[in-house]
């Protein structure tokens, strides 16, 4: 039975906070040019999770409504960002944000859009956006074939991931984006990376919803395989994930 996507990360919040990649500051530069982002832009960060993307826009002095249905992830964001006056935590979903109509200038969905119902989400985004508002979609996409280590790690996920292969087929493709952005969109990319020792690599793996949890019979074999991969590919006790940060933006 398919897990409720709003609950997939409930038991992985600590690892998610510590080991998921952030977004490069160049994202803000691209959006300043592409959508005329300024500190006055009011943002709904939908599927905001633990606040990784929210923090990016708070650093730009934006007012951000962080919309997240998962209580554990929402609580983590509050712990990290709750002291900031322009941070507002909202219990809602992409399809029902609970925000007032015409209340935001830009909707952001970072590492989250592939979990949404596209048609219902599009209608909701249009409802909450002001006239001529923007929708920005962000992903840190791991480059699976960049190095021998990245290829070995991908093989590990295909071997041990509980539904990893299926989820890859559900990723948003160009046709889905064309349907969502009826008026067209632009795409930009930036390089990004993370460097790990073994413990942080393990945390990064366990932050993924498809990684077998501690009570799963494949958990220990997966970590044994991860240790072997790390030892085979580490340099000075470190390995690297290479990402392409993908930025899509268009009118809502």
* In-domain check, residue 224: no
Whether 77 shows a pLDDT value over 80: the answer reads yes
With residues binned 3-state (H G I as helix, E B as strand, rest as coil), the percentages for the chain, rounded to 5, are 40, 25, 35
* In-domain check, residue 229: no
* In-domain check, residue 42: yes
| pLDDT for position 2 | 43
8 Å CB contact between 64 and 43: yes
* pLDDT tens digits, one per residue of 131-175: 999 999 999 999 999 999 999 999 999 999 988 876 654 467 888
Number of domains in the chain: 1
* In-domain check, residue 160: no
Can you tell me the distance from the alpha carbon of 252 to that of 237, in angstroms, rounded to the nearest whole number? 46
Lookup: tokens for 158: 């295909």
* In-domain check, residue 164: no
Helix (H, G, I), strand (E, B) or coil at 131: strand
8 Å CB contact between 128 and 102: yes
Q: Which domain holds residue 74?
A: 5-143+170-193+243-251
* pLDDT tens digits, one per residue of 110-134: 999 988 999 999 999 999 999 999 9
Helix (H, G, I), strand (E, B) or coil at 118: helix
Helix (H, G, I), strand (E, B) or coil at 51: coil
CATH (domain of 29): 3.40.50.150
| 239 CB-near residues (< 8 Å, 6+ apart) | 149, 195, 196, 201, 230, 233
Question: Looking at the whole model, is its pTM more than 0.85?
Answer: yes
Tell me the C-alpha to C-alpha distance, in Å, between residue 107 and each of 97, 141, 183, 203, 248: 11, 20, 16, 30, 12
Helix (H) or strand (E) holding 137: strand 129-142
* In-domain check, residue 43: yes
| pLDDT for position 12 | 67
* In-domain check, residue 125: yes
Whether 5 shows a pLDDT value over 80: the answer reads no
């Amino acid at each position: 039975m398919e897990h409720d996507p709003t609950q997939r990360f409930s038991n992985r919040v600590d690892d998610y906070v510590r080991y998921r990649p952030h977004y490069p500051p160049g994202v803000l530069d691209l959006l300043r040019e592409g959508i005329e982002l300024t500190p006055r832009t009011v943002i709904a960060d939908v599927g905001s999770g633990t606040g990784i993307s929210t923090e990016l826009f708070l650093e730009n002095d934006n007012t951000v409504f962080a919309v997240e249905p998962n209580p554990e992830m929402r609580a983590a964001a509050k712990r990290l960002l709750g002291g900031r006056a322009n941070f507002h935590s909202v219990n809602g979903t992409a399809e029902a944000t609970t925000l007032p109509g015409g209340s935001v200038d830009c909707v952001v969905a970072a590492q989250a859009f592939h979990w949404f119902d596209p048609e219902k989400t599009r209608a909701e985004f249009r409802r909450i956006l002001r006239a001529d508002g923007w929708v920005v979609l962000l992903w840190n996409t791991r480059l699976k074939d960049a190095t021998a280590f990245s290829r070995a790690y991908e093989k590990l996920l295909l071997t041990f991931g509980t539904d990893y292969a299926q989820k890859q087929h559900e990723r948003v493709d160009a046709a889905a984006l064309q349907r969502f952005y009826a008026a067209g969109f632009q795409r930009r990319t930036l390089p990004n990376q993370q460097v790990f020792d073994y413990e942080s690599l393990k945390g990064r793996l366990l932050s993924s919803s498809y990684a077998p949890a501690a009570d799963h019979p494949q958990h220990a074999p997966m970590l044994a395989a991860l240790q072997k991969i790390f030892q085979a590919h580490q340099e000075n006790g470190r390995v690297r994930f290479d990402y392409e940060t993908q930025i899509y933006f268009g009118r809502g």
